[in-house]
Structure 1
Amino acid sequence: MKNRIQTILVALVIATVSFAFTNIEDGTVEVKVEKSSVTWKGYKVTGSHKGKIALKEGTLTFNEGKLTGGEFVIDMTSIENTDMEGEYKTKLEGHLKSEDFFGVEEYPTALLTFKKVTSTGKNSYEVVGDLTIKEITKPVTFELSVYGNKATANVKIDRTKFDVRYGSTSFFDDLQDKAIYDEFDLITDLEF
Structure 2
Amino acid sequence: MPTGHKVRKIGLAAARAFVERRTGIVLDVMVPEYFELRHIPGAVQACVHEVVFCDAVAALAPDRTAPVLVYGAGAGSLDGRMAAEKLLRQGHADVRWFAGGLEAWCDAGLPLEGSAPHARPDAHPPVVMPDGAYALDAATSAIRWTGRNDNGAHTGTVDCAGGSLIFSRGHGTGNLRIDMRTIHDQDITDDALRPVLEAHLASDDFFFTALFPQAALEDMALTPLPSATATTPNYRLTGLFTLRSVHRKLALNVAVRRSGDADGLSLSGHCDLDRTRWGVLYGSARFFRHLGYHRVDDAISLDFRLVYTPARGR
Scaled to the shorter chain, the TM-score interval is: 0.7 to 0.9
**Counterpart secondary structure, 1:92:** helix
Kindly provide the amino acid, as one letter, of the partner of residue 257 in structure 2: Y
Residues 1:183 and 2:288 aligned together? no
**Deviant stretches of 4+, over 6 Å:** none
Q: Whole-Å Cα distance in 1 between the matches of residues 180 and 285 of structure 2?
A: 24
Residues 1:106 and 2:216 aligned together? no
Percent identity over paired residues: 26
Q: TM-score, normalised by structure 1?
A: 0.84
For structure 1, the 5+ residue unaligned runs are: 1-8
Q: Whole-Å Cα distance in 2 between the matches of residues 21 and 126 of structure 1?
A: 16
For structure 2, the 5+ residue unaligned runs are: 1-31, 38-121, 259-264, 309-314
Q: Whole-Å Cα distance in 2 between the matches of residues 24 and 118 of structure 1?
A: 11
Residues 1:75 and 2:191 aligned together? no
What is the CA distance between 1:150 and its match in structure 2? Answer: 1.7
* Correspondences of 1:7-86 after superposition (within 5 Å): 10=33, 23-64=128-169, 66-85=170-189, 86=191
- Give RMSD over aligned pairs: 2.3
Aligned residues: 178
Q: Whole-Å Cα distance in 1 between the matches of residues 304 and 285 of structure 2?
A: 28
Residues 1:92 and 2:197 aligned together? yes
What is the CA distance between 1:55 and its match in structure 2? Answer: 0.3
Q: Determine if contact 1:141/1:155 at 8 Å carries over to the other structure.
A: no
More strand by percentage: 1
Deviations 1:25-68 (A, max 9, x none): 3132101110110001111122111100000001122112x242
Q: TM-score, normalised by structure 2?
A: 0.53
Bigger Rg, which one: 2
Deviations 1:127-160 (A, max 9, x none): 1211101111011111110111222011221111
